[in-house]
Amino acid sequence: MPTITEKIIQAHLSEGALQRTKPIAIHIDQTLTQDATGTMTYLQLEAMGVDQVKTDLSISYVDHNTLQNGFENADDHKYLQTVAMKHGVLFSRPGNGICHQVHLERFAKPGTTLLGSDSHTPTAGGIGALAIGAGGLDVACAMAGRPFHLAMPEIINVRLHGRLSKGVSSKDIILKILQILSVKGGVGKVIEYSGDGVKNLSIPQRATITNMGAELGATTSIFPSDEVTKEFLRKQQREEDYKELFADDDACYDQIIELDLEKLEPMIAMPHSPDNVLTVSEVAGLKVDQVAIGSCTNSSYLDMMSVANILKGKMIDSNVSLVISCGSRQVLHTLSSNGGLATMIASGARILESTCGPCIGMGQSPISNALSLRTFNRNFYGRSGTLSAKVCLVSPETAAASALAGYLVDPRTIDYELPKEPNTLNIDDRMILIPNEETAKTTKLVRGPNIKPLPINTPLDHEIHKKVIIKVGDNITTDHIAPAGAKVLPYRSNIEKISEFIFMNVKADFHDDCLANNGGFIVAGSNYGQGSSREHAALAPMYLGIKAVFAKSFARIHRANLINFGILPLTFQEESDYDAIDEFDELMIDNLHNLHPDTPLTVSNTTKNTHFLVNHNLTYLEIETIKAGGTLNLIRLQQSTT
């Protein structure tokens, strides 16, 4: 009877039972980090006093902050390399590729659990791994051998039928699902794929779909592991990692969505949300200024070869800037051997290194008021670095065809050759450093001046009386809270500095108002904290004295991050209570030392002389964590009593 998700969870269960929405804990087999979240993760691992990681495999990728326009990025990389070699973590050097693409190619295994300090960790669901994105502290805990806590997800079954038509890609499948479910439709859920259409999708195509499950807010997404998976692993010279994995025929799902691939059209997510989806044909003809191809969503060999085949023998439009980044050194190297890269260069494409690059605003900000077509997964306001730009998300085929034309083109209307799977791949893992006993003994940690000590919260007060520093609406992303981009990312290891940028594009005074009022509260609408797993969006507000967030609802990873750093995540019982609060109202919460699961809290608005009830939905463990002032404090308390 079990689904794929239930099979993997059952095999890894360390606490609880498989009852939907109830708290469970699972053993984690593999972890991954990337540099933008990794420095904090390893500082936290060090703070826990862990000598050697306890997982089957932990790997640290450097793929986000690679501009190095100053010493900060390079210093972070050196710290990451040394801390990895000291504590038994593999290290994928800058240039080796984007974490999710490399992990899919070289390490992800069907049937295993993977926890990554990046929200797109579910990319590995394409190969049948239960791959979950989390805050860095949760990943550090997993490396320390602790189980990962989550609510047993509900499971949505998406049944794919038939085969995609030429010009329609797996990106269009996930954009269609986003149109159906929206950016909060997956919260607390796993999206499990099945149907006769699955066998017609390659592993990277499946991974594009599970990658953008993050945009649904889903806990993760997963595909079966079948003959296609086996063949992919064989080409990657790791057939021994194959394990067949299907849901039972009578598996029970909470919701079923049927999708006919033959009827699907090219889709486009319009600004500024991945669920603002239309068909390309509805908006074809829009003038395009920039096209960016790559990111962990669409940078596989087949994606790149579709692009090369479309560009072949043609020149891009004179008003379009086309940038391309391959997802991994393996893809780039293979393209350089088979002529695909030469085709791209000849067409006028600007080739970037195999990193996240423009996806996280590390360069290539488009011109003012631009329409930028990107094969990425997020088009949140401001993420490209140009506030006035309109970023749309499309498939590689739509992107390449539009780069040639200078306007948005439905790729079904053009002629090109469909790419074929390569016979051989350039497999070369020498950019991945492997730790051993010797490196553990002899490596000296290198901590550059930008790497500042971890700020730690104080235990929870019994009564908190503070002002509302900011009130925001629905679907606030962690990009709104803690923006990325070339100016900010170098400070990911320096919380004092990064706290100056919190809510920068929403309310520029947020930082100063926090300081002037000795911290305060945040009030938000639904799905607060969607998007990136960056724990800086909790850690920096904590540093500024934020004690609680009152929201209509929370995104999963951000809620966990708030708890990890001792900030109360509270939900309104009534919409009208949200409406009645204004910025700078003073709120008072008391009786906090008597927090109990399922018991609401009474909040007094002392400015307006009113009261309202909020839920906290905290488990016993989460209550202990918040009371201690966060996970690290709780671990220290536990260590001092054993």
Q: 154-161 and 189-194: which strand pairing? A: parallel
DSSP state of 187: B
383 annotated active-site: no
108 binds ligand MIC (CB under 6 A): no
Which of 29, 76, 118, 577 is flagged as catalytic? 118
Which of 100, 146, 374, 378 is flagged as catalytic? 378
Nearer to ligand MIC, 129 or 498 (CB): 498
CA atoms within 13 A on the CB side of 124: 29
From the CB of 208, what's the least distance to ligand SF4, in Å? 11
532 annotated active-site: yes
**Token match 């104080």: residue?**
458
77 binds ligand MIC (CB under 6 A): no
Q: What Cα–Cα distance (Å) separates residue 128 from each residue in 104, 192, 241, 611?
A: 10, 10, 11, 48
For 7, the token pair is: 């099979």
120 binds ligand MIC (CB under 6 A): yes
**Residue 297: which of 174, 176, 186 has the closest Cα?**
174
For 153, the token pair is: 């997800």
Kindly determine how many residues on this chain lie close enough to bind ligand MIC according to the rule CB under 6 A.
14
Which of 64, 120, 272, 329 is flagged as catalytic? 64
118 annotated active-site: yes
Q: Report the alpha-carbon distance of residue 102 to residue 345 in Å, rounded.
A: 24
From the CB of 79, what's the least distance to ligand SF4, in Å? 20
Q: Which of 37, 92, 170, 530 binds ligand MIC (CB under 6 A)?
A: 37
Q: Is residue 535 within 8 Å of 36, Cβ to Cβ?
A: no
120 binds ligand SF4 (CB under 6 A): yes
For 594, the token pair is: 């008597």
Residues contacting 338, CB < 8 A, separation 6+ = 422
Nearer to ligand MIC, 37 or 60 (CB): 37
Q: What Cα–Cα distance (Å) separates residue 225 from each residue in 123, 161, 185?
A: 14, 17, 25
**Residue 527: which of 215, 253, 269, 268 has the closest Cα?**
215
Nearer to ligand MIC, 29 or 118 (CB): 118
Nearer to ligand SF4, 121 or 402 (CB): 121
From the CB of 356, what's the least distance to ligand MIC, in Å? 6
Cα 433 to chain centroid, rounded: 24
Cβ neighbours of 68 (radius 10 Å): 14
535 binds ligand SF4 (CB under 6 A): no
* Residue list 241-270, contact with ligand SF4 (CB under 6 A): none
With CB under 6 A as the contact rule, which of the stretches 24-32, 113-121, 185-193, 453-461 interacts with ligand MIC?
113-121
For 323, the token pair is: 């940038």
Q: What Cα–Cα distance (Å) separates residue 381 from each residue in 321, 386, 476?
A: 20, 9, 10
Q: Which of 157, 210, 295, 478 binds ligand SF4 (CB under 6 A)?
A: 295
Site string for ligand MIC, 355-394 (x = CB under 6 A): -----x-----------------x----------------
From the CB of 257, what's the least distance to ligand SF4, in Å? 24
Annotate 280-313 with three-state secondary structure: HHHHCCCECCEEEECCCCCCCHHHHHHHHHHHCC
- Residue 37's binding partner, choosing from ligand SF4, ligand MIC, none, with beta-carbon cut-off 5 to 8 A by kind? ligand MIC
Q: What Cα–Cα distance (Å) separates residue 60 from each residue in 42, 318, 327, 632?
A: 10, 40, 16, 21
Q: Which of 98, 142, 432, 570 binds ligand SF4 (CB under 6 A)?
A: 98
Q: Report the alpha-carbon distance of residue 262 to residue 150 in Å, rounded.
A: 37
From the CB of 307, what's the least distance to ligand SF4, in Å? 16
Nearer to ligand MIC, 201 or 296 (CB): 296
296 binds ligand SF4 (CB under 6 A): yes
248 annotated active-site: no
Q: Report the alpha-carbon distance of residue 187 to residue 617 in Å, rounded.
A: 15
Nearer to ligand MIC, 33 or 113 (CB): 33
359 binds ligand SF4 (CB under 6 A): yes
- Residue 98's binding partner, choosing from ligand SF4, ligand MIC, none, with beta-carbon cut-off 5 to 8 A by kind? ligand SF4
Burial of 180 (0-12, 13-18, 19+ CB in 10 A): middle
From the CB of 636, what's the least distance to ligand SF4, in Å? 31
598 annotated active-site: no
559 binds ligand MIC (CB under 6 A): no
- Residue 534's binding partner, choosing from ligand MIC, ligand SF4, none, with beta-carbon cut-off 5 to 8 A by kind? ligand MIC
Nearer to ligand MIC, 191 or 305 (CB): 191
With CB under 6 A as the contact rule, which of the stretches 4-12, 205-213, 532-540, 609-617 interacts with ligand MIC?
532-540
- String of DSSP letters for 500-550: GGTTTTT-TTHHHHHHHTTSEEEEE-SSBTBS---THHHHHHHHTTEEEEE
Q: Report the alpha-carbon distance of residue 173 to residue 397 in Å, rounded.
A: 14
Nearer to ligand SF4, 64 or 189 (CB): 64
87 annotated active-site: no
105 binds ligand SF4 (CB under 6 A): no
532 binds ligand MIC (CB under 6 A): yes
**Edge-to-edge strand ranges of the sheet holding 90-92:** 130-133, 113-116, 30-34, 57-61, 90-92, 432-433
Site string for ligand SF4, 53-92 (x = CB under 6 A): -----------x----------------------------
**Token match 């010279």: residue?**
237
Tell me: cis bond preceding 272? Omega within 30 of 0 counts.
yes
Could you tell me the sign of the dihedral formed by the alpha carbons of 37, 38, 41, 43, in that order? negative
Nearer to ligand MIC, 201 or 356 (CB): 356
280 binds ligand SF4 (CB under 6 A): no
393 binds ligand SF4 (CB under 6 A): no
Q: Which residues bind ligand MIC (CB under 6 A)?
A: 36-37, 64, 118-120, 133, 360, 378, 484, 531-534
Residues assigned a catalytic role: 63-64, 118, 378, 532, 534
Which residues are near ligand SF4 by CB under 6 A?
Answer: 64, 98, 118, 120, 295-296, 356, 359-360, 376-377
